[in-house]
Chain A
Amino acid sequence: MSAERWLLFWLLLMCLVIGVALTTPEPAGGHGVPHDGHAAMLKGSPTPPPDRILLLGWLFGLTQIGFFVTCMSLGISHSIRQGRGSLWFLFGVGTLAYAGSLTMMSIANRTAIRSEHFSFLGWFPAATSWMLFGMWSAPLLFVLAYLVGFDRWIIPPESLARFEELVAANQSSSSASEQSADPD
C-alpha cells in the first residue's frame, strides 16, 4: 500500500476513534471545574474518566503516531533505491519508542487514578515523567535519522546535482525568452 493510502487509513481510523469518543456522554465538569479555593485555577473532573475514554484516548494517540511517521516517510527522497534498510530500522525503533512511551504513560496514569497512589519517578509522578521525558524525547530518533541520513535519504548528492541542472536549464530558458522579448 502506498504512503498516501496509509495516510488516508490513519486519518479515517482517527475519525472513527474521535467520533466514538465525542459521542460518549460526558459527565458534568468532564474537562475541569473551577477550583473551590482559588479564582483563576481549575481542578480535574470530580468524576474519574471512564476506562472507555482512557482507551479511546490511547488509541487516538497511537493513530497520531502512525500518521506522523507516515507523513515523515513522505519526505524521504523519492530517488533513493539502496540503503533504505537502515532508515526503516531507525524509523521502526523510533516508532516503537514513541508508541511505547505513550503506552507506559497511559498505564502509569490509569494505575495512579485507580489506586489513588501517585508514585514518583524523579521530580514528577511516574506518568508525568513518561510524558515529559518519554513523549518529548522519543521522536528525537527521527531527528537523528534526519541528521545522519540527510545525504543518503533526504537529498542525496546526485539529487542535488540533478537539481542544479534543472535550475540552470530554467535560468537559460528565462534569459532566452527575455532576449527574444527585447529585440534591442
Chain B
Amino acid sequence: MEAYRSQIILGSVALYMLMCIGVGLWAMRRTKDAHDFFMAGRSLGIFVTSVAVFSSTMSGFGFVGGPGLVYQMGMSSIWMVVCTAIGFALSFHLIATRIRLFAELRDSISLPDAVGSRYRSRSVSFWAAVAILLGVIGYLAAQIRAMATVLKNLLDDILGGYVSETGVPLEVCVAVSCAVLVFYCVTGGIIAGVYTDVVQGVMMVVAAILVCWAAMSAVDGGFRGMSETLVQDDPATISPWGTMGILGSLSWYFVFALGGAGQPHVVTKMMMTKKVSDIRLMLPLSIIGYSFTALLWISIGLAMRALVLQGHHPDLVHADSAAPQFLQSYTNPLLAGLVFAGLLAAIMSTADSFLNIGAAAVVHDIPRAVRGESLGNELFWARTATVLIAVFASLFSLYAGERMVALLGAFGWGTFAAALVPTVAIGFNWKRATPLAANVAIITSLVVNFGVKFFQVQLPWGFDVGALSLLLSLVLFVSISLLSRTPKLDDDIEAVMEL
C-alpha cells in the first residue's frame, strides 16, 4: 500500500471533488430564486446548520497554518482554539436568535440587509457590504492559493517529472480547484455550500480524531512524552503563553473569542434555520464539532516539534510543512488520503461561504444601498457574480504578489471582528446603538487594519494589532452611542429588540 501512497491520496481527493460536483447538481434543482441561492430558503435543519457553522469557522488555516504555528511557537497559538467554548457561547448568546428573527421579519437575504433594517440606514448597510467584499476577496484569494498549493504538491508527486522541471504549473492547479468550487457554488448556491459543508465537516472531524491518535502513537509516551521533550528543550514553549508571551497570547484570545460573533460567513448561516427554536441545540453541536477538528491543530504541531527535537525527524525548513510532512511520514496512506481530502474540505467549506456572501454584496447589498433596490433577475446576476468573484480572486492570488494577498488576507478575521462585532453583535441587542456609531466602527476597522498591515507596524510584547483595532472600534461604538440621542427605530424592529 505504501508504494501507492501518492495515488491513494490523489484518488481520495478526486473522489471528494466528484462528490462536490454531485452535490452541486443535486442542489441546482432546489435553487429556484435568490432567496434559495443566498438563504437556502431558510429551511435548514439543526444538524446541517451546526456542521455548516463549525466547518466554515475552521478554514484551511486551521489544518495547515495551525499546526505550523504550534510547531513554531508552542502553545501561544492554541489560545485561538482554547477560546472555542466561550467564542461560540458569545456568538450564540448575542447573535444567533436575534439575527434569525430579523431575517424572518424583514425577509433579509444577507447580513448587510439585516444591518440596514436594524439601523434604518443605507450607509451602514453599504459600509458593511464594502467591508465584507474587501475581506471576501482577500480571504478567498488566500484560500484559493492554499487549495492550489495542496493540489500542486499532490500532482507533482505523480506527474511532476512528466510535465516540466518545476512540476505542474500553479495556474493549472488554480484552474482545476476553482472550477470545482465555482461549479457547485454557481449551480447550487448556498444550498450546495451547506450540504458540501456537512460532508466536509464530518470528514474533518473523522480525520482530526484519527490524526490525533496517530500523533500520540508517533511519539513515545504520547502527549506526556511530547510535553517532557519540550520542557527539556525550552519550558516556555509548553507553558500556557508559549514563546509569544502572556500579552500576545491573550490578545489572540480576545480577537478569536469575540471575533467569531463578527464573521459574516458564519453569522449568515445562523439566518438559515427552519425554526428559531433549532438554534438551541446548534450551540453544543458546533462546539463539539469544532473542538474535535482542533485536535489536529494541537496534536500535529506538538508531535512534530517533539519528533524534530528528539532527532527522529529531519529539521523543517518551513513551519507550515509540519502537517504535510507528518501525514506523509507517520500516517497510513488511507488516512493521509482522508486528511488531504479533509484539508481541501476545510478550505472549500470556507471559500464557498465567502463566494456566496461576496456575490450577495455585489448583486444585492451594494446596489440596494446606493440606488434603493437590488439588481433585477437576481438569481442570474448572483450566479454571474459568483463566477466573476472567483475569477478575480484567482487572478489576484496568482498575480498580485504574496504581500498583497497576505495584506488583504489579513483583512479576514480581524477586520470582520472589528467591523461587525460592535455593529451586529452589540448593536442588534442594544436599541441605543446609532448608525453613526456603526459607520465609525466599520470605517475604523478598515483603516486601522489596512493601515497597520500596510505600514507593517508591530506592537510591543507581541500584542496583536487585530485586538487593538477591535478594542478601538468597540470603545468608539459604545461611547458614540451613549453620547448620541436615542435613534428612532422602525416599530417592528423595535418590537423585536424588546423581545
Residues of A participating in the B interface, judged by any CB pair closer than 8 Å? 4-5, 7-8, 11-12, 14-15, 18, 21-22, 24, 26, 30-33, 35, 38-45, 49, 53-54, 56-58, 60-61, 64, 67-68, 71-72, 74-79, 98, 105, 109, 112-113, 116, 118, 120, 122-125, 127-128, 130-132, 135-140, 142-143, 146-147, 150-151, 154-155, 159-160, 162-163, 166-167, 169-170
B82 & A123 in contact (Cβ 8 Å cutoff): no
B239 & A44 in contact (Cβ 8 Å cutoff): yes
A31-B243, A67-B258 known; 6 other A-B pairs, CB under 8 Å? A11-B478, A21-B461, A56-B247, A113-B235, A122-B224, A137-B85
Most B-side CB within 10 Å, residue of A67, A68, A109, A160: A68
In the complex, what distance in Å separates the CA atom of A43 from the CA atom of B72? 8
Whether B353 sits at the interface, judged by CB under 8 Å, is: no
Can you list, as one digit per residue, whether each of B420-432 has a CB less than 8 Å from chain A (1) or not (0)?
A: 0000011001101
Which A residue's beta carbon lies closest to that of B286? A143
Whether B32 sits at the interface, judged by CB under 8 Å, is: no
Residue from A32, A56, A109, A162 in contact with B73 in the complex, judged by beta carbons closer than 8 Å: A32
Whether B369 sits at the interface, judged by CB under 8 Å, is: no
A105 & B240 in contact (Cβ 8 Å cutoff): yes
In the complex, what distance in Å separates the CA atom of A72 from the CA atom of B88? 11
The 4 closest A-B pairs by CB, nearest first: A44-B236, A31-B462, A57-B246, A75-B93
Whether B15 sits at the interface, judged by CB under 8 Å, is: no
- The distance from the CB of A109 to the nearest CB of chain B, in whole angstroms, is 6
A113 & B93 in contact (Cβ 8 Å cutoff): no
A7 & B478 in contact (Cβ 8 Å cutoff): yes
Q: Could you count the A-B residue pairs with CB atoms below 8 Å apart for me: how many are there?
A: 254
In the complex, what distance in Å separates the CA atom of A7 from the CA atom of B90? 14
B85 & A136 in contact (Cβ 8 Å cutoff): yes
A64 & B250 in contact (Cβ 8 Å cutoff): yes
A125 & B71 in contact (Cβ 8 Å cutoff): no
In the complex, what distance in Å separates the CA atom of A102 from the CA atom of B312? 35
A64 & B254 in contact (Cβ 8 Å cutoff): yes
Interface residues of B in 242-301 (CB under 8 A from A): 242-248, 250, 253-254, 257-258, 276-277, 279-281, 283-284, 287, 291
- The distance from the CB of A72 to the nearest CB of chain B, in whole angstroms, is 4
B276 & A125 in contact (Cβ 8 Å cutoff): no
A53-B247 in contact given A124-B223, A124-B238, A125-B238 (Cβ < 8 Å): yes
Residue from B94, B461, B468 in contact with A31 in the complex, judged by beta carbons closer than 8 Å: B461
CB-CB under 8 A from B234, the residues of chain A are: 35, 43-44
B72 & A42 in contact (Cβ 8 Å cutoff): yes
Most B-side CB within 10 Å, residue of A11, A57, A75, A127: A75
B479 & A42 in contact (Cβ 8 Å cutoff): no
B429 & A38 in contact (Cβ 8 Å cutoff): no
B461 & A136 in contact (Cβ 8 Å cutoff): no
Offer 24 A-B interface pairs, CB within 8 angstroms, sorted by A.
A11-B474, A18-B471, A30-B462, A33-B243, A40-B71, A40-B317, A40-B318, A44-B236, A53-B247, A72-B94, A74-B93, A74-B426, A75-B93, A75-B94, A76-B93, A120-B227, A123-B222, A128-B75, A128-B227, A131-B240, A136-B291, A139-B89, A142-B86, A147-B284
Can you list, as one digit per residue, whether each of B310-333 has a CB less than 8 Å from chain A (1) or not (0)?
A: 000001111100000000000000
Whether B2 sits at the interface, judged by CB under 8 Å, is: no
A41-B239 in contact given A7-B478, A11-B475, A53-B246 (Cβ < 8 Å): no
A4 & B430 in contact (Cβ 8 Å cutoff): yes
B231 & A125 in contact (Cβ 8 Å cutoff): yes
**Looking at chain B's contact residues, is the secondary structure mostly helix, strand, loop, or mixed?**
helix
Residues of B participating in the A interface, judged by any CB pair closer than 8 Å? 71-75, 78, 82, 84-86, 88-90, 92-95, 97-98, 101, 104-106, 222-224, 227, 231, 234-248, 250, 253-254, 257-258, 276-277, 279-281, 283-284, 287, 291, 305, 308-309, 315-319, 425-426, 429-430, 432, 459-463, 468, 471, 474-475, 478-479, 481-482, 492, 495-499
Residue from A18, A45, A75 in contact with B97 in the complex, judged by beta carbons closer than 8 Å: A75
A26 & B97 in contact (Cβ 8 Å cutoff): no
A26-B89 in contact given A41-B71, A42-B72, A57-B247 (Cβ < 8 Å): no
Residue from B105, B305, B459 in contact with A41 in the complex, judged by beta carbons closer than 8 Å: B305
A18 & B463 in contact (Cβ 8 Å cutoff): yes
Residue from A72, A98, A112, A123 in contact with B93 in the complex, judged by beta carbons closer than 8 Å: A72
A142 & B461 in contact (Cβ 8 Å cutoff): no
Which B residue's beta carbon lies closest to that of A21? B247
In the complex, what distance in Å separates the CA atom of A18 from the CA atom of B459? 11
In the complex, what distance in Å separates the CA atom of A32 from the CA atom of B248? 11
CB-CB under 8 A from A76, the residues of chain B are: 93
Which B residue's beta carbon lies closest to that of A80? B499
CB-CB under 8 A from A131, the residues of chain B are: 75, 78, 82, 240
A38 & B309 in contact (Cβ 8 Å cutoff): yes
- The distance from the CB of A41 to the nearest CB of chain B, in whole angstroms, is 6
B97 & A154 in contact (Cβ 8 Å cutoff): yes
A77 & B245 in contact (Cβ 8 Å cutoff): no
A7 & B426 in contact (Cβ 8 Å cutoff): yes
- The distance from the CB of A3 to the nearest CB of chain B, in whole angstroms, is 8
Residue from B245, B254, B277, B478 in contact with A4 in the complex, judged by beta carbons closer than 8 Å: B478
In the complex, what distance in Å separates the CA atom of A12 from the CA atom of B476? 11
B284 & A166 in contact (Cβ 8 Å cutoff): no
CB-CB under 8 A from A147, the residues of chain B are: 280-281, 283-284
Residue from A31, A109, A125 in contact with B248 in the complex, judged by beta carbons closer than 8 Å: A31
Residue from B257, B430, B462 in contact with A32 in the complex, judged by beta carbons closer than 8 Å: B462
- The distance from the CB of A63 to the nearest CB of chain B, in whole angstroms, is 10
In the complex, what distance in Å separates the CA atom of A10 from the CA atom of B398? 44
Which A residue's beta carbon lies closest to that of B95? A75
In the complex, what distance in Å separates the CA atom of A12 from the CA atom of B277? 36
A109 & B241 in contact (Cβ 8 Å cutoff): yes
CB-CB under 8 A from A167, the residues of chain B are: 104-105
In the complex, what distance in Å separates the CA atom of A22 from the CA atom of B315? 35
CB-CB under 8 A from B97, the residues of chain A are: 75, 154-155
CB-CB under 8 A from B227, the residues of chain A are: 120, 123-125, 128
CB-CB under 8 A from A125, the residues of chain B are: 227, 231, 235, 238-239
